[in-house]
Chains A and B, each alone.
Chain A
Amino acid sequence: MNTTAQDEIRDYVEAVRQALAGLSAETREELLEDLPEHLAEVRAEGSGTLRDRLGSPEAYAAELRATAGLVGDFPEPPEPRFPHLIEARDNALHVLRQVDVRVGPVIGYAKASDFLVLLRPAWWVLRGYLAAMAIAFLLASNHGDMGLLPRIGDSDLVALVLLTGSVIVSLALARRSQALSRLPRWALRAGTAFLIIFAVAGFAGADSDTRNVPYSETNYDYNNGGNPYSNVQDVYVYDSQGQLVVGARLYDQEGNPIQLGNNYCTDSTGASARSRTLGYPYCPGDAPFGTGESAPSTSASAPASAPASAPASVPASAPVSPSPPR
């Protein structure tokens, strides 16, 4: 037996060994233990290479596996690990294909996916925008105050530069993604998944910000459908002379009295008591601009009995309150 034959046998045995991967090492070695000697016998018996006479090493290995099987010792090639999942996936893909073909004609295309493919460049641009927003969000100190541009440090210029750069990178990636090797491609997919989650979260946040005007004292009640003047506790009417009108009555266009505030007054000692005045103001002593006696337009000698001169200047006026201011 010459060297060439030995090489041939060794190569053949090695190929069979490769094809038997999956068996336990012990079982495999036991099967292959005598194979070189056996093949040497075969080789010596006739002419032709081992491959010519025995077929491919893979076929040989398969036959060996099938016929030399000790019970339980030669497992079949492993089943797919999650047959149910794979079946479910196949079913889902089938349904998707059906939908694809059915929906397509409705929107004027052979398949719905034909239309979606046309939208790809739009997605690339959107992806660039989302990436810019994500970068700005991670870098920005004030997350809540970003607006719709990827501002960093409140700078519109930075925002536009970042946005343009991200879109260009996204477009360039789209062109090259086909040529990417396995790892970068998975990284790209993972990044895309992150952007989609980020986008959904950002959209939800922006949506709720638009719907809910931030809380403030004045319109809080209004938003709750309440009275916009509910924080009004008293009403002070001044005439054109700057004199406080006492005992004013307010009516709306239907002649219904307008009720505002409450008629409790707090005096200087802090004690609260029911006002005895009829009409506004309930508490003349609390008048924000004084009662008018010291107003520059009026004489310093104006009598304290302001009400007496006031009635004519109160529009749609109620009778002057008989009770004097406290």
Chain B
Amino acid sequence: MRTTVRRVDTTQLLKGVLDLAVLAALRDEDGYGYDILRRLRAAGLEEVGDASVYGTLRRLFNGGLLNTYVVPSDEGPHRKYYGLNPAGRAELQRSGKIWHGFSSTMDDLLRERGAA
């Protein structure tokens, strides 16, 4: 068997929390795909790719967590907006709690051992 020591990198971490990040980006305001990508990057998640956001939106929508509507635009193409439905808000709360618990555990662990 091959063993790999996996270094923590943001891309890897992002995979686990991308759903939560997109849900969080939509908490206060509906948005369309590229808009959401900009919000995530502005929040500091520079590594997020467009395909990731697009794919995640498709998946969350298919999973029944988002509603969607099209907004016509005078200049440029129509925009497909996504927003949280009640199921999406419930999921955001649940996943958010799990994340808080996990991240504070990691914080404590790192602080106790003097690693951070």
Contacts and interface: CB of A to CB of B under 8 A. Distances in A.
Interface of A: 1, 30-31, 33-35, 37-38, 40-42, 44-45, 53-55, 60-61, 63-64, 66-70
21 contacts: A1-B76, A1-B77, A30-B58, A30-B62, A35-B54, A37-B80, A38-B33, A38-B54, A38-B80, A40-B77, A41-B76, A42-B50, A53-B50, A54-B49, A54-B51, A60-B49, A63-B49, A64-B54, A64-B55, A67-B15, A67-B55
Contacts, number: 66
A35 B49 CA distance: 14
Contacts of B67: none
Contacts of A34: 54, 58, 80
B77 A41 contact: yes
Contacts of A44: 76-77
A45 B51 CA distance: 16
Interface centre among B18, B55, B79 (most CB of A within 10 A): B55
Interface in B10-26: 15, 18
A63 B51 contact: yes
B56 interface: yes
Contact of A41 (B51, B52, B79): B79
Given A34-B80, A45-B34, A66 B15 contact: yes
B32 A70 contact: no
Interface SS of chain B: helix
Given A31-B58, A41-B79, A44-B77, A67 B52 contact: yes
B78 interface: yes
B33 A68 contact: no
B82 to A, nearest CB: 10
B32 A41 contact: yes
Given A1-B76, A44-B77, A64 B51 contact: yes
Contacts of A68: 54-56, 58-59
Contacts of A30: 58, 62
Contacts of A66: 15, 52
Contacts of A53: 50
A67 B58 CA distance: 10
